[in-house]
Amino acid sequence: MITYAYVGCRTSKWRGARGKGITVFRIADSGEWEQIQCIPSIQDNPSWLTLDAKRNRLYVLHGDGDRVAVFNRDPETGRLSLRNDQTTGPRHTNPDLEAARRNNPVSSALTPDMATLLIANHEGGNVAALPVNDDGLDKPAHFSCIEGHPATDDTLPTLSRPHEVVFLPGSDLFAVPVQGRKAGNGIDMIRLYRWAGTRAFLSDEVRLTPGSWPRHVDFHPNGKWLYGISELSNTVTVFDVDKDGGSLTVKQTIGTLPEGYNSRSDASEVEVHPDGRFLYAANRGHDTIAVFHINPHDGSLNLAGWVPCGGKTPRFTTLSPDGAQFYSANEDSDTIQVFDVDAATGMLAKTDVVIPSASPTCICFA
């Protein structure tokens, strides 16, 4: 069976990027990647991709922008063609925000019924709900707005910045890591929402250390635990998940860097292995993947070691669906490094497969 990989990237001069558009690769049985298409998108930075397997579509967010593009995907050839595009919502009214970043959509996920695309608008301070239609996407029908601490000036609108949307598999619950950046007087926290058909309702909120900047999350396959990575504190926080009550409880916080490491490094990505025994955390600056073993009884983490990412600035990582391979999108070395996963220990072994890819930021497979 032929497998295709779709790679998003940054393209803007403002980001110092080198990407040209969404790149499509055919992956051979040998594991070699062959580029078959590079398609420009409608705005700079087609940096986050969400696959719609039901409709053979790809939804593409434009980081620093304010649009989401909808591409048709040919299942026989893997190639993409633009179907339509849609706004992700209006710009937030806080005057301290950087004008160059607009709404800055950074992550999206389809609801369990595949009827709505949820988008985390980082600079917009909200999660937007866009109904899916035959032509692509409708305009946002609802916004879950995320405010910050009350401002000294009561007239100044506040916001906190969502950075990802991740559903608990088989559930209507989804988690949103939220960053409390200075502009907007934001709050660092993890929010848990429940999707109710046409809109989201806040179910729980756990505040984390100010200045930690929660970035990404991943649920354990058993649904009992949630793992969140914070980029400035370089930590992974483990939460117990109460699915029925829709709540989170902090269990553990553990660092992603070696003790005594004092150079700049920002954690980026967290991945739980499909078999639930291992967790991977990416470090931009230290340029490593931290490997953890997951305690099967309580979900807590034990550090197993660090593996060099094979490049510079591992902004995005992912695992193959079967968990046999691990991929590191190294943004500042313009490469995707492929690793084999040791099924017994979870450790990563660097392979000879290195894919040239300018400023890569996201990978998805079909």
pLDDT, position 238:
99
pLDDT, position 38:
98
Structural domain contains residue 244: no
Partners of residue 290 on adjacent β-strands: 281, 306
pLDDT, position 153:
73
- Give residue 172's pLDDT band: very low, low, confident or very high (50, 70, 90): very high
Structural domain contains residue 49: yes
pLDDT, position 58:
99
| pLDDT for residue 2 is more than 70 | no
Cβ atoms of 208 and 230 within 8 Å: the answer is yes
Cβ atoms of 239 and 225 within 8 Å: the answer is yes
Structural domain contains residue 333: no
Give dist(CA 114, CA 5) in Å, integer: 21
How many separate domains does the chain show?
Answer: 1
Structural domain contains residue 96: yes
pLDDT, position 10:
98
Give dist(CA 111, CA 194) in Å, integer: 10
Cβ atoms of 146 and 125 within 8 Å: the answer is yes
pLDDT digits (tens, 9 = 90+) for 244-259: 999 999 999 999 999 9
Structural domain contains residue 92: yes
pLDDT, position 100:
82
Domain CATH code at residue 92: 2.40.10
What residue numbers bound the domain in which 47 lies? 41-145
Q: What is the mean pLDDT of the chain?
A: 97
Structural domain contains residue 211: no
| pLDDT for residue 1 is more than 60 | no
**Of 92-106, 112-126, 225-239, 322-336, the least confident:** 92-106
Structural domain contains residue 276: no
pLDDT, position 334:
99
CA distances from 362 to 51, 328, 331 (A): 12, 10, 10
pLDDT digits (tens, 9 = 90+) for 124-157: 999 999 999 999 999 999 999 999 998 877 778 9
Cβ atoms of 291 and 348 within 8 Å: the answer is yes
Q: What percent of the chain clears pLDDT 90, i.e. is strictly above it?
A: 93
Flag whether the pTM goes above 0.95.
yes
Structural domain contains residue 125: yes
User: What phi, psi does 100 have (nearest 5°)?
Assistant: -65, -15
